[in-house]
Structures are given as C-alpha cells and as structure tokens.
Structure 1
Amino acid sequence: MNSISRFFWFCSGANFAILKRTPTESNKYVGIGATVFFTGVLAALAAGYALFTVFQNLIPAIFFGLLWGMMIFNLDRFIVSSMRKKENAWAEWKLAIPRLILAVLLALVISKPLELKMFEREINRKLDEKKTEFIAQSKANLAKGFPEIQELEGKIDTLKAEVSRAETFRNQLQKEYDAERFGEKTAGTSGIVGLGTNAKKKEQQLDAAQLALENLRKQNQVRIDTLEAQIREFMALRQVEFEKQQPGIEGFDGLAARMDALSALTSESSAMAMANVFIMLLFIAIETAPIFVKLISSRGPYDELLELHEEKVKLFKGEKWMIAKGESEARVGYFQDTHFYATDLKKEKTNRKNRAEADRELAKWE
C-alpha cells in the first residue's frame, strides 16, 4: 500500500518530503493522483481506438495511444502541481480559470473517440446507409457517363415497337378474315358465310401480313442482337469503372466518416444527442476533478509548509542578490577609481612630452 500511495503522490505532483511531514494530507493527494492517472489511462484508450480506426493496425495504435496517454498524464500532473492554495479564494479561481479551460478542451478530445466506440453499432449502420447511397450515386453518374447505352436501348425499343405494330396489323387482318368466313357483318366484311371472293382476298392479305411479320421479326432480331452485344460491351466498361470506385466506397469508414455519422445520428435522435452530451459532461467532470478538488479543499499543512519553503527560497535569493549586487558595485567602484587614475597619469605624461617638443622647436628658431 505504501508503494501505491507513493505512486499516486507522484501522479499528483506533490513533494514527497513535505507530504511525509503532513500525514493528514496523504489521502487527499492520493485521490488527486489517482484521478490524474486514470484520466491518462482513459486518454490512452481513446487515442488508441482513434488511431486504430485511422491506421487499421494494432501496433502503431498501441504505441501512439500510450504516447498520447503519457502526454495527457504529464499535462494533467503539471496543471495540478502548478496550482497553489492561496488565502484569497478569488485569486485561486483567477489562476484556475485557464487551467479549467485547458482541462475542458482535453476532456472533449478524450471523450470523442470513446463516444465513437460506444455508438459503434449505430455508426456502422449509418455508414452502411451512406455506402448504399454512394453506390447508387456512383451508378447514376456512370450511367450519365455512358449515354451510348441509352441510345442503343432506345433503338432496340424502336425495333420492338415496329414488330409490335406489325403483329397488331396481322391480328387485325386475322379478325377480319375470321369475320368474313363466319358471316359476321362489319364495316370491312360482306356478312356472307363461306370462303367467297372477299374471304380469299382477306386470306391473301393475312398471308402477306404474316410473311411480312416473320421477315420483320428476323430482320429486327438480327439488329437487336447486334445492339445488345454493343450494350454488353459498354456495360462491361461501366462495370470496370464502378469496380475502380468500389474500394473507395467500401473504405468509407475512417475517423472523419464516423464522426460525421455520429453527428448525423445525434441530429436525428434526441436520445443519442442526450447520451452524447452526458458522455462529454462525464469526461469533463473526470478531467476537471483534480482541479476542483484542489480548489474546494481547505488550505492544509502541506500548503503551509510548501509556501514556507518557497518563501525561504525567495528570501535566500534576495540575500544572494544583495550580496552579489554589493560585490559588483564594489568592483565597479574600484575599477573606475584605478582606471581614471591611470588615465590622468597618462594624460600628464603626454602633455609633458608635447611641451618638451614645443620648447625644442622654439629653441631652434631662436
């Protein structure tokens, strides 16, 4: 238990020497350290899942997940350890506001991958719907890219319509021929029963229409077969283009796609939107818990001893500064005195030398 406590002390960023002198503060910093540690663990899990979604490989996901978790752990540890308990509560809150904002941002970053994991089934269903839409859209775009298929299909429909019209004409002649044989009185029949002159004419017309129909069928069928072969060639080319696009559609399951699907789900379902908000609030509470613990906790012996130690360091620094400043001023004064004395002496020598040279020049002229 002692080693576990020391580990959580380390996670809280507390000073071991001071904590050993204040045993009543031990549990508080164990709780703060545990919160910081488990926040780092959650961050590592969240980053590992997010990176596995990106790389689709376990080894880099584990490596970068651990790296991200250690970074978050170190940042939380720094945030908590850098906070100091003051006698003025408002001064503490002013110092804590930037740290709280940073903690909220970290919580949002940590919570998002875990939200994606929690709603994985719903997100996968939404992604399947998106893929189906993309497939239909891709096929529609490819159909527009091959207008020859529609033109050939239109020609086939025209040929089939010609055969249909010929069949209709043949059937009409068949009805008139039957009516003429059985003596049915119509606008085109005589009403006389038997194979008379009109019946034979009707029969000849029917035979000619049947022959024309058969010839048209054969002729158009050859043309239809040719057009269908061309259509199959264009459809094969279209299928090749679709197969090129299909891997991209099937691979539509990255991190951005999942976040977009989650956003769509939360906008469609109020229950999922509420769950999403509650998860974010949970992680914000976890991430800001160490800071709030330090803010709401009373000023204890650990804080008093820590402030005393820091004040001693400040006093020691002031003493050293005063000593160093005095020594520096003494050295500067000594340097100025000796430097100016040497300078004046040198000037005097130069003046004497100049006067001597001037006197010699005057003596020569005299």
Structure 2
Amino acid sequence: GLKAQRDSLAAAIKSDRQKLNYEIFGNKTTETSGVMGYGPYAKRKEAELKQREQNLDTLTADVRQMEKFVDGRKQFDGLMTEKLYTSKQLDSLSNIAGFADRNWALGQLSFNADGSKDFNTAMAVTFIGLLFIFFECLPVFVKLMSARGSYDHAVENEEVVQKHLSDKDRDMEITVADQIQDTRVSIRSQQRLDDLRARE
C-alpha cells in the first residue's frame, strides 16, 4: 500500500543521504568516488536526493489524505463512538447475557441499523424457525404415515394383556371384599347373639 511505499522511499532517502555525505567528505565506497569535495557526482546525487524527497512529500500527503478519508468514514459509520471489546471482555459479557438478552439480540437481526425491517433476514429467521419445528415433528409424522408393524402389534397385545390383568385384579378385589364383608357380618351377628344370650 501507500504506507509501505512511503516507508521504503524514506529508507532509500536515508541511504542516499548517507552516500551523499560519503561523496562530499571523500569516503570511498563501491558507490562513491572517494574524492573529497562537492563535485559533479555529488551534485547529481543531491539532485536525485531532492527528487526523492519531493516524491516522499507527495506520497506522505497522499497517505495523510487517505488516513483522513478513512477516519471520516469511520466517523460516519459510527466506529469512533463504538466501544470495542477484547476477546476476554466479550467472553465475560456473553457469560453475563441471559436467555432474554440473546433472544432480544436474535430478534434484532430482522432490523436494519435505521430501524426499518429487513425483509430478507426476517424471512430467513422465520424459515430457520419453521425448519426446527419441522425437524422436531418429523418423527411423529413418519410414525403416523408408516404402516402398522410387528412392534405396534406387540404393544397392542401388551395393552390387551394389561387390561385383562387389571380387570381380573378388580374382580379379585371385589370378591375378596365381599367375602371379608360377609365374614365381618357373620362375626358381628354372632357377637350380638352372644350378648343377647348373656343378658337373658
């Protein structure tokens, strides 16, 4: 990007300035003549250096303009006023948020930032909800649509047996209760007769 070009150009200018100093002060390197003084080679180096510095100034201005545009866009989008949380803070907030908060947040997905209803998202949320309901009811639908099998027959037989046993238990309890009642009546009658005889 522009910042990388600016940094690269700044590094190149720094290197060229050092080479110019070497040329002026007579330090011989692979790229300098080693002749002390402000000669034609030094003048040419200085001209190149000035040209690069002008390019750097232009590039720096472009970078500043781009940064200003980005900052303006952030301000327009409201990013400057948004509170940004770290991952740890987000985890902490998600632990605090209860079912009502999460349900409210899901409900807000159907609305745009300006408060208008987002039809596409609302339809997607509705579709997903209906899909979950369908999956929940699917086993029941499959069972209702399938033919009776051996398991159904076995369950029905088990129910018949249980009903029959229950009826027999009822009959037995009734018979036992009747016999107990007869015995109690007989005993009570005998006690009354014994009491009457004792009084005579």
Q: TM-score scaled by structure 1?
A: 0.27
Greater length-normalized contact order (CA 8 Å, ≥ 6 residues apart): 1
